[in-house]
Amino acid sequence: MRIQNYRIDGVGLGKLLNTRQVKRMVASYVGENKEFARQYLSGELEVELVPQGTLAEKIRSGGAGIPAFYTHTGIGTLVETGGIPIKYAKNGDVEIFSQPHCTGVFDGKRYVMEESISGDYALVKAWKADELGNLVFRASANNFNAPMATAGKVTIVEAEEIVPVGELKPDQIHIPGIHVHRIIKCEKNEKKIEKLTVRQDQAGEAGLPAAMQKRIRIIKRAAREFKDGMYANLGIGMPMLASNYIDPGITVYLQSENGVLGLGPFPTRSEVDPDLINAGKETVTVLQGGSFFSSDVSFGMIRGNRIDMLVLGGMEVSQTGDLANWIVPGKMVKGMGGAVDLVSASGTRVVVTMDHCSKDGSPKILKRCTLPLTGVECVNRIITDMCVFDVVPGKGLLLRELASGCSVDQVRAATGCEFTVASDVAETY
Protein backbone atom coordinates (compact mmCIF):
# COMPACT_ATOMS: atom_id res chain seq x y z
CA MET A 1 0.00 0.00 0.00
CA ARG A 2 1.41 3.39 -0.98
CA ILE A 3 -0.33 6.56 0.02
CA GLN A 4 0.63 10.05 1.17
CA ASN A 5 -0.71 9.67 4.70
CA TYR A 6 -3.35 8.16 6.99
CA ARG A 7 -4.75 11.12 8.87
CA ILE A 8 -8.08 10.14 10.49
CA ASP A 9 -8.91 6.98 12.44
CA GLY A 10 -11.54 4.76 10.81
CA VAL A 11 -12.13 6.94 7.74
CA GLY A 12 -11.29 6.19 4.11
CA LEU A 13 -8.25 3.93 3.83
CA GLY A 14 -8.08 4.02 7.62
CA LYS A 15 -10.72 1.28 7.49
CA LEU A 16 -8.15 -1.06 5.93
CA LEU A 17 -5.78 -0.21 8.74
CA ASN A 18 -8.34 -1.11 11.38
CA THR A 19 -9.01 -4.50 9.75
CA ARG A 20 -5.24 -5.26 9.52
CA GLN A 21 -5.26 -5.37 5.70
CA VAL A 22 -2.20 -3.13 5.33
CA LYS A 23 1.27 -4.68 5.66
CA ARG A 24 3.46 -1.73 4.65
CA MET A 25 2.87 1.96 4.14
CA VAL A 26 5.04 4.36 2.14
CA ALA A 27 4.11 7.74 3.58
CA SER A 28 5.45 11.14 4.54
CA TYR A 29 3.22 11.90 7.49
CA VAL A 30 1.30 9.85 10.04
CA GLY A 31 -0.70 12.83 11.26
CA GLU A 32 -3.06 12.44 14.19
CA ASN A 33 -4.00 8.80 13.48
CA LYS A 34 -3.40 7.14 16.84
CA GLU A 35 -4.12 3.64 15.56
CA PHE A 36 -1.56 4.09 12.77
CA ALA A 37 1.09 5.19 15.28
CA ARG A 38 0.18 2.38 17.69
CA GLN A 39 0.47 -0.34 15.04
CA TYR A 40 3.77 1.08 13.81
CA LEU A 41 5.40 1.40 17.23
CA SER A 42 4.13 -2.05 18.33
CA GLY A 43 5.52 -3.79 15.23
CA GLU A 44 2.17 -4.62 13.60
CA LEU A 45 2.71 -2.30 10.63
CA GLU A 46 5.72 -1.56 8.43
CA VAL A 47 6.11 2.14 7.60
CA GLU A 48 8.56 3.54 5.06
CA LEU A 49 8.78 7.27 5.79
CA VAL A 50 9.71 9.46 2.82
CA PRO A 51 9.97 13.26 2.54
CA GLN A 52 6.71 14.57 1.13
CA GLY A 53 8.19 16.29 -1.91
CA THR A 54 10.29 13.24 -2.69
CA LEU A 55 7.16 11.09 -2.41
CA ALA A 56 5.27 13.36 -4.80
CA GLU A 57 8.14 13.23 -7.31
CA LYS A 58 8.51 9.44 -6.93
CA ILE A 59 4.85 9.09 -7.90
CA ARG A 60 5.03 11.64 -10.73
CA SER A 61 8.17 10.01 -12.12
CA GLY A 62 6.62 6.56 -11.85
CA GLY A 63 3.67 7.72 -13.91
CA ALA A 64 6.03 9.30 -16.46
CA GLY A 65 8.09 6.13 -16.94
CA ILE A 66 11.20 7.51 -15.22
CA PRO A 67 12.75 4.78 -13.02
CA ALA A 68 14.77 7.04 -10.69
CA PHE A 69 15.96 10.60 -10.13
CA TYR A 70 18.40 12.62 -7.99
CA THR A 71 17.43 15.17 -5.34
CA HIS A 72 19.27 17.17 -2.68
CA THR A 73 16.46 16.47 -0.20
CA GLY A 74 17.72 14.50 2.80
CA ILE A 75 21.47 14.86 2.24
CA GLY A 76 23.27 14.43 5.57
CA THR A 77 20.23 12.89 7.29
CA LEU A 78 18.91 9.36 7.79
CA VAL A 79 17.21 9.71 4.41
CA GLU A 80 20.69 9.44 2.86
CA THR A 81 22.50 7.19 5.33
CA GLY A 82 19.65 4.84 6.17
CA GLY A 83 18.58 3.89 9.68
CA ILE A 84 14.96 5.09 9.77
CA PRO A 85 12.90 2.40 11.56
CA ILE A 86 10.57 0.63 9.14
CA LYS A 87 9.44 -2.18 11.45
CA TYR A 88 9.63 -2.51 15.21
CA ALA A 89 9.69 -5.78 17.14
CA LYS A 90 7.14 -6.34 19.90
CA ASN A 91 9.83 -5.60 22.51
CA GLY A 92 10.54 -2.19 20.99
CA ASP A 93 13.72 -3.11 19.12
CA VAL A 94 13.95 -2.26 15.42
CA GLU A 95 13.68 -5.25 13.08
CA ILE A 96 13.95 -3.42 9.74
CA PHE A 97 15.80 -0.17 9.04
CA SER A 98 15.76 1.91 5.85
CA GLN A 99 18.80 1.30 3.66
CA PRO A 100 21.45 3.84 2.57
CA HIS A 101 20.77 5.67 -0.69
CA CYS A 102 23.10 5.86 -3.65
CA THR A 103 24.49 9.37 -4.08
CA GLY A 104 25.88 11.42 -6.94
CA VAL A 105 27.67 14.74 -7.36
CA PHE A 106 26.48 17.35 -9.86
CA ASP A 107 28.12 20.77 -10.17
CA GLY A 108 29.96 20.07 -6.92
CA LYS A 109 26.80 19.38 -4.92
CA ARG A 110 25.76 16.01 -3.46
CA TYR A 111 22.40 14.42 -4.24
CA VAL A 112 20.62 11.20 -3.26
CA MET A 113 19.07 8.88 -5.81
CA GLU A 114 15.41 8.02 -5.32
CA GLU A 115 13.59 5.21 -7.09
CA SER A 116 10.18 6.02 -8.55
CA ILE A 117 6.84 4.54 -7.51
CA SER A 118 4.01 3.05 -9.53
CA GLY A 119 1.15 0.83 -8.44
CA ASP A 120 -1.25 -1.81 -9.67
CA TYR A 121 -4.15 0.46 -8.72
CA ALA A 122 -4.48 4.18 -8.11
CA LEU A 123 -7.51 5.41 -6.16
CA VAL A 124 -8.30 9.06 -6.84
CA LYS A 125 -10.98 11.54 -5.75
CA ALA A 126 -12.08 14.18 -8.28
CA TRP A 127 -14.57 17.04 -8.25
CA LYS A 128 -15.78 16.49 -11.81
CA ALA A 129 -15.16 13.82 -14.42
CA ASP A 130 -16.55 13.53 -17.90
CA GLU A 131 -17.44 10.25 -19.60
CA LEU A 132 -13.99 10.08 -21.24
CA GLY A 133 -12.28 10.21 -17.86
CA ASN A 134 -11.05 13.80 -18.02
CA LEU A 135 -10.71 15.10 -14.46
CA VAL A 136 -11.03 18.41 -12.66
CA PHE A 137 -10.03 18.86 -9.02
CA ARG A 138 -11.40 21.60 -6.80
CA ALA A 139 -9.20 24.03 -4.83
CA SER A 140 -6.58 22.30 -2.66
CA ALA A 141 -8.03 18.83 -3.39
CA ASN A 142 -5.64 18.62 -6.36
CA ASN A 143 -2.66 17.76 -4.06
CA PHE A 144 -1.58 14.12 -4.54
CA ASN A 145 -4.61 13.20 -6.63
CA ALA A 146 -3.11 14.51 -9.89
CA PRO A 147 0.25 12.66 -9.83
CA MET A 148 -1.38 9.56 -8.32
CA ALA A 149 -3.86 9.39 -11.22
CA THR A 150 -0.96 8.86 -13.65
CA ALA A 151 0.95 6.26 -11.62
CA GLY A 152 -1.42 3.29 -11.55
CA LYS A 153 -1.77 0.46 -14.02
CA VAL A 154 -5.48 0.84 -13.30
CA THR A 155 -6.72 4.24 -12.10
CA ILE A 156 -10.12 4.27 -10.38
CA VAL A 157 -11.72 7.67 -9.84
CA GLU A 158 -14.50 8.56 -7.45
CA ALA A 159 -16.07 11.75 -8.81
CA GLU A 160 -18.51 14.07 -7.09
CA GLU A 161 -20.10 14.74 -10.46
CA ILE A 162 -19.93 12.94 -13.82
CA VAL A 163 -20.73 15.22 -16.76
CA PRO A 164 -21.23 14.67 -20.51
CA VAL A 165 -18.27 14.93 -22.87
CA GLY A 166 -17.78 18.55 -23.88
CA GLU A 167 -19.02 20.11 -20.66
CA LEU A 168 -15.48 20.43 -19.27
CA LYS A 169 -13.47 23.06 -21.11
CA PRO A 170 -10.18 21.62 -22.47
CA ASP A 171 -8.03 24.29 -20.79
CA GLN A 172 -9.60 23.54 -17.38
CA ILE A 173 -8.87 19.79 -17.34
CA HIS A 174 -6.20 18.77 -14.80
CA ILE A 175 -5.81 15.09 -15.81
CA PRO A 176 -6.66 13.87 -19.33
CA GLY A 177 -8.79 10.75 -19.61
CA ILE A 178 -5.94 8.68 -21.10
CA HIS A 179 -4.85 7.94 -17.51
CA VAL A 180 -8.29 6.93 -16.19
CA HIS A 181 -9.77 3.44 -16.43
CA ARG A 182 -12.88 3.52 -14.22
CA ILE A 183 -15.15 6.24 -12.86
CA ILE A 184 -17.50 5.86 -9.91
CA LYS A 185 -20.14 8.43 -8.97
CA CYS A 186 -19.78 9.51 -5.36
CA GLU A 187 -23.10 8.64 -3.70
CA LYS A 188 -22.35 10.02 -0.25
CA ASN A 189 -20.22 13.11 -0.55
CA GLU A 190 -19.38 13.63 3.10
CA LYS A 191 -16.28 15.78 3.50
CA LYS A 192 -14.80 15.52 6.95
CA ILE A 193 -12.78 18.51 8.17
CA GLU A 194 -9.83 17.30 10.19
CA LYS A 195 -8.93 20.60 11.80
CA LEU A 196 -11.69 23.18 11.73
CA THR A 197 -9.68 26.34 12.34
CA VAL A 198 -11.30 29.77 12.42
CA ARG A 199 -9.94 33.26 12.85
CA GLN A 200 -9.05 34.21 16.44
CA ASP A 201 -10.29 37.55 17.68
CA GLN A 202 -7.08 39.28 18.76
CA ALA A 203 -9.05 41.26 21.33
CA GLY A 204 -9.59 37.98 23.17
CA GLU A 205 -5.91 37.03 23.46
CA ALA A 206 -5.67 38.27 27.05
CA GLY A 207 -8.00 35.50 28.16
CA LEU A 208 -5.94 32.72 26.62
CA PRO A 209 -3.85 30.30 28.76
CA ALA A 210 -0.34 31.46 29.63
CA ALA A 211 1.26 28.84 27.37
CA MET A 212 -0.72 30.09 24.37
CA GLN A 213 0.06 33.72 25.16
CA LYS A 214 3.75 32.79 25.22
CA ARG A 215 3.40 31.20 21.80
CA ILE A 216 1.58 34.23 20.43
CA ARG A 217 4.53 36.36 21.51
CA ILE A 218 6.81 34.10 19.44
CA ILE A 219 4.38 34.21 16.52
CA LYS A 220 4.12 38.01 16.54
CA ARG A 221 7.91 38.29 16.53
CA ALA A 222 8.12 35.80 13.66
CA ALA A 223 5.61 37.85 11.66
CA ARG A 224 8.12 40.72 11.65
CA GLU A 225 10.38 38.57 9.44
CA PHE A 226 8.03 39.02 6.47
CA LYS A 227 9.01 41.53 3.78
CA ASP A 228 6.82 43.07 1.10
CA GLY A 229 6.49 40.86 -1.99
CA MET A 230 8.02 37.82 -0.27
CA TYR A 231 7.04 34.23 -1.08
CA ALA A 232 6.98 32.24 2.17
CA ASN A 233 6.03 28.82 3.50
CA LEU A 234 4.73 28.36 7.05
CA GLY A 235 5.04 25.05 8.88
CA ILE A 236 2.27 23.21 10.68
CA GLY A 237 1.18 24.53 14.09
CA MET A 238 2.64 27.66 15.64
CA PRO A 239 4.34 29.03 12.46
CA MET A 240 1.07 28.97 10.51
CA LEU A 241 -0.49 31.36 13.06
CA ALA A 242 1.98 34.03 11.95
CA SER A 243 -0.21 34.64 8.91
CA ASN A 244 -2.70 36.38 11.23
CA TYR A 245 -0.11 39.00 12.25
CA ILE A 246 1.37 40.09 8.92
CA ASP A 247 1.75 43.87 8.73
CA PRO A 248 -1.33 45.10 6.80
CA GLY A 249 0.93 47.50 4.90
CA ILE A 250 2.78 44.71 3.08
CA THR A 251 1.82 41.83 0.79
CA VAL A 252 3.22 38.35 1.45
CA TYR A 253 2.44 35.37 -0.76
CA LEU A 254 2.13 32.29 1.44
CA GLN A 255 2.68 28.87 -0.14
CA SER A 256 1.42 25.56 1.23
CA GLU A 257 3.00 22.25 0.21
CA ASN A 258 -0.35 20.66 -0.62
CA GLY A 259 -0.72 23.00 -3.59
CA VAL A 260 -1.79 26.51 -2.63
CA LEU A 261 -0.15 29.86 -3.34
CA GLY A 262 -1.68 32.98 -1.82
CA LEU A 263 -2.93 31.72 1.56
CA GLY A 264 -4.88 34.25 3.58
CA PRO A 265 -5.88 34.28 7.26
CA PHE A 266 -7.89 31.48 8.80
CA PRO A 267 -11.57 31.73 7.77
CA THR A 268 -14.55 32.96 9.72
CA ARG A 269 -17.08 30.21 10.37
CA SER A 270 -19.14 31.33 7.37
CA GLU A 271 -16.06 31.10 5.09
CA VAL A 272 -15.11 27.51 5.98
CA ASP A 273 -14.66 25.31 2.88
CA PRO A 274 -13.68 21.61 3.32
CA ASP A 275 -11.84 21.68 -0.04
CA LEU A 276 -9.72 24.62 1.06
CA ILE A 277 -7.10 23.49 3.57
CA ASN A 278 -3.38 23.92 4.19
CA ALA A 279 -0.71 21.24 4.56
CA GLY A 280 -1.66 20.85 8.23
CA LYS A 281 -5.26 20.03 7.22
CA GLU A 282 -6.47 23.31 8.74
CA THR A 283 -9.22 25.29 7.03
CA VAL A 284 -7.84 28.42 5.33
CA THR A 285 -8.74 31.23 2.93
CA VAL A 286 -7.03 32.32 -0.29
CA LEU A 287 -6.25 35.90 -1.24
CA GLN A 288 -7.21 37.48 -4.55
CA GLY A 289 -4.68 36.33 -7.13
CA GLY A 290 -4.08 32.99 -5.37
CA SER A 291 -3.71 29.70 -7.23
CA PHE A 292 -4.02 25.93 -6.77
CA PHE A 293 -1.83 23.15 -8.16
CA SER A 294 -0.70 19.59 -7.46
CA SER A 295 1.81 18.52 -4.80
CA ASP A 296 4.50 17.63 -7.33
CA VAL A 297 4.28 21.14 -8.83
CA SER A 298 4.34 22.61 -5.31
CA PHE A 299 7.58 20.88 -4.37
CA GLY A 300 9.08 21.81 -7.71
CA MET A 301 8.70 25.42 -6.55
CA ILE A 302 10.42 24.51 -3.29
CA ARG A 303 13.35 22.57 -4.77
CA GLY A 304 13.71 25.25 -7.43
CA ASN A 305 14.39 27.90 -4.75
CA ARG A 306 11.26 29.92 -5.52
CA ILE A 307 10.38 30.25 -1.82
CA ASP A 308 12.13 33.17 -0.11
CA MET A 309 11.54 32.16 3.49
CA LEU A 310 10.41 29.16 5.53
CA VAL A 311 9.10 29.39 9.09
CA LEU A 312 8.77 26.07 10.91
CA GLY A 313 8.89 24.54 14.37
CA GLY A 314 11.72 22.61 15.96
CA MET A 315 12.38 20.02 18.63
CA GLU A 316 16.12 20.75 18.67
CA VAL A 317 18.50 23.12 16.88
CA SER A 318 22.30 22.89 17.06
CA GLN A 319 24.75 25.77 17.31
CA THR A 320 25.68 25.19 13.66
CA GLY A 321 22.08 25.32 12.45
CA ASP A 322 21.23 21.62 12.27
CA LEU A 323 17.50 21.03 12.79
CA ALA A 324 15.59 18.08 14.28
CA ASN A 325 11.80 18.28 14.27
CA TRP A 326 10.08 15.13 13.06
CA ILE A 327 10.63 12.06 15.26
CA VAL A 328 11.51 10.82 18.74
CA PRO A 329 12.59 7.23 17.95
CA GLY A 330 10.43 4.60 19.62
CA LYS A 331 8.15 7.17 21.25
CA MET A 332 6.66 9.73 18.90
CA VAL A 333 6.39 9.68 15.15
CA LYS A 334 4.53 12.28 13.13
CA GLY A 335 6.55 11.82 9.98
CA MET A 336 8.82 14.26 8.22
CA GLY A 337 6.11 15.74 5.98
CA GLY A 338 7.57 18.40 3.72
CA ALA A 339 10.12 19.77 6.19
CA VAL A 340 13.11 17.82 4.84
CA ASP A 341 12.38 19.09 1.32
CA LEU A 342 11.88 22.68 2.48
CA VAL A 343 15.10 22.99 4.50
CA SER A 344 17.10 21.37 1.67
CA ALA A 345 16.42 24.30 -0.66
CA SER A 346 19.65 26.30 -0.52
CA GLY A 347 18.05 29.58 -1.57
CA THR A 348 15.38 29.62 1.15
CA ARG A 349 15.91 31.48 4.44
CA VAL A 350 14.95 29.14 7.32
CA VAL A 351 13.48 30.59 10.53
CA VAL A 352 12.70 28.23 13.41
CA THR A 353 10.08 29.15 16.03
CA MET A 354 9.98 27.12 19.24
CA ASP A 355 9.93 27.17 23.02
CA HIS A 356 13.44 27.76 24.34
CA CYS A 357 13.24 24.77 26.70
CA SER A 358 11.34 21.50 26.86
CA LYS A 359 8.57 20.95 29.40
CA ASP A 360 11.12 19.43 31.81
CA GLY A 361 13.30 22.56 31.56
CA SER A 362 16.03 21.01 29.42
CA PRO A 363 17.45 23.17 26.61
CA LYS A 364 16.33 22.65 23.03
CA ILE A 365 19.22 24.67 21.56
CA LEU A 366 22.27 22.44 21.83
CA LYS A 367 25.87 21.98 20.78
CA ARG A 368 24.72 18.95 18.75
CA CYS A 369 21.22 17.62 18.11
CA THR A 370 20.44 14.31 19.81
CA LEU A 371 17.40 13.50 17.64
CA PRO A 372 17.45 12.42 13.96
CA LEU A 373 18.08 15.44 11.75
CA THR A 374 15.65 17.15 9.42
CA GLY A 375 18.45 19.14 7.79
CA VAL A 376 22.16 19.91 8.19
CA GLU A 377 23.32 23.52 8.75
CA CYS A 378 20.03 24.74 7.31
CA VAL A 379 18.73 27.17 9.98
CA ASN A 380 19.36 30.91 9.62
CA ARG A 381 17.42 32.30 12.60
CA ILE A 382 15.87 30.92 15.82
CA ILE A 383 12.99 32.73 17.55
CA THR A 384 11.98 31.51 21.01
CA ASP A 385 10.00 32.81 23.95
CA MET A 386 13.29 34.15 25.37
CA CYS A 387 15.34 35.51 22.49
CA VAL A 388 16.33 35.64 18.83
CA PHE A 389 19.51 33.88 17.65
CA ASP A 390 21.17 34.14 14.25
CA VAL A 391 23.23 31.20 13.02
CA VAL A 392 26.48 32.64 11.65
CA PRO A 393 28.18 30.17 9.26
CA GLY A 394 31.50 28.98 10.64
CA LYS A 395 31.05 30.87 13.92
CA GLY A 396 27.92 29.58 15.66
CA LEU A 397 25.10 31.44 17.39
CA LEU A 398 24.79 35.20 17.76
CA LEU A 399 22.26 36.57 20.26
CA ARG A 400 20.43 39.33 18.40
CA GLU A 401 17.36 40.18 20.51
CA LEU A 402 15.81 39.52 23.91
CA ALA A 403 12.17 38.96 24.78
CA SER A 404 10.61 41.29 27.30
CA GLY A 405 11.76 40.45 30.83
CA CYS A 406 14.63 38.18 29.74
CA SER A 407 18.32 38.84 30.40
CA VAL A 408 21.45 37.55 28.72
CA ASP A 409 22.29 35.53 31.84
CA GLN A 410 18.87 33.87 31.80
CA VAL A 411 19.35 32.95 28.14
CA ARG A 412 22.80 31.47 28.89
CA ALA A 413 21.35 29.35 31.68
CA ALA A 414 18.61 28.01 29.38
CA THR A 415 20.81 27.32 26.33
CA GLY A 416 22.82 24.12 25.85
CA CYS A 417 25.74 25.66 23.93
CA GLU A 418 27.97 28.71 23.79
CA PHE A 419 26.98 31.84 21.88
CA THR A 420 28.17 35.38 21.33
CA VAL A 421 26.15 38.51 22.09
CA ALA A 422 25.53 41.30 19.60
CA SER A 423 26.72 44.69 20.79
CA ASP A 424 23.26 46.20 20.33
CA VAL A 425 21.22 43.35 21.87
CA ALA A 426 18.04 44.65 23.53
CA GLU A 427 14.49 43.68 24.47
CA THR A 428 12.47 43.99 21.26
CA TYR A 429 9.33 41.86 21.69
- CA distances to 14, 81, 377 from 21, rounded to whole Å, are 10, 30, 41
- CA distances to 253, 301, 391 from 310, rounded to whole Å, are 12, 13, 15
Angle at 57 between CA 54 and CA 63, to 5 degrees: 145
The rounded distance, in Å, linking the Cα atoms of 365 and 316 is 6
The rounded distance, in Å, linking the Cα atoms of 257 and 234 is 9
Taking the C-alpha atoms of 26, 28, 33 and 37 in order, what is their torsion angle to the nearest 10 degrees? 70
Residues marked as catalytic: 257
Q: Note whether 387 and 412 are within 8 A (CB).
A: no
Helices and strands: H and E segment counts in the chain: 9, 26
DSSP character at residue 262: E
Alpha helices in 208-305 (DSSP H): 210-223, 295-303
Q: What is the DSSP track for 308-342?
A: -EEEEE-SEEETT--EE-SEETTTEE---TTHHHH
Q: What is the largest CA-CA distance in the chain?
A: 71
Dihedral sign, Cα of residue 139, residue 7, residue 213, residue 359: negative
